[in-house]
A = this chain, B = another copy of it.
Amino acid sequence: MEMLFRYNWQVRQEWFDWCESLSQQELLQQRTGGVGSILYTLYHIIDVEYSWINDLRDQNSLLTDFADYQTVERLRALSSQLHVEVGAYVKAWTPEQETKILHNVRKDGSTEQLTYGEVMRHVIAHEIHHVGQLSVWAREVGREPVSANLIRRGLQR
């Protein structure tokens, strides 16, 4: 489980680096598909990961607003700040938590039962999916995207 999170965190840092060569206008430009702009996608990834992990930890999430994080520098800092809690939770994960039940309140007020195991994998897949979208937009602006390979990253331990 942890390896896929570490993959996402490493790839995310590389996308932050990648973003530094783009103008603010390119980073915030509304694009087709996904959640809109490149920077908003990265914000959304950070926000969704943190929110789900806090649901699993039974903690309230610090409320953030994208308006406060519209530069690569601020987003990177937000990611690092929230990673203290997220990283600790993922590191402490044990297989016994797999089948634990989360009573999740949906936007319409209804409640659903999810297993902790599926929520963790949902978070993993969520980030990889949105990064796939970034890779298309990268080509649209004429740049080579960050590699999506999981192998050859020293993640094998």
Contact = CB atoms under 8 A, between A and B. Distances in A.
Interface of A: 3-4, 7, 31-34, 112, 114-115, 117-119, 121-122, 124-126, 128-133, 135-140, 145, 148-152, 155-156
Given A3-B121, A117-B156, A126-B150, 5 more contacts: A33-B139, A34-B136, A129-B131, A129-B148, A132-B136
A121 B150 contact: yes
A152 to B, nearest CB: 7
A136 B133 contact: yes
Contact of A136 (B3, B126, B136): B136
Contacts of A4: 4, 121, 124-125
A118 B156 contact: yes
A157 to B, nearest CB: 8
B135 A137 contact: no
Given A115-B156, A150-B121, A129 B135 contact: yes
A119 B150 CA distance: 8
B118 A3 contact: yes
8 contacts: A31-B136, A32-B140, A33-B139, A33-B140, A114-B151, A117-B156, A125-B128, A128-B132
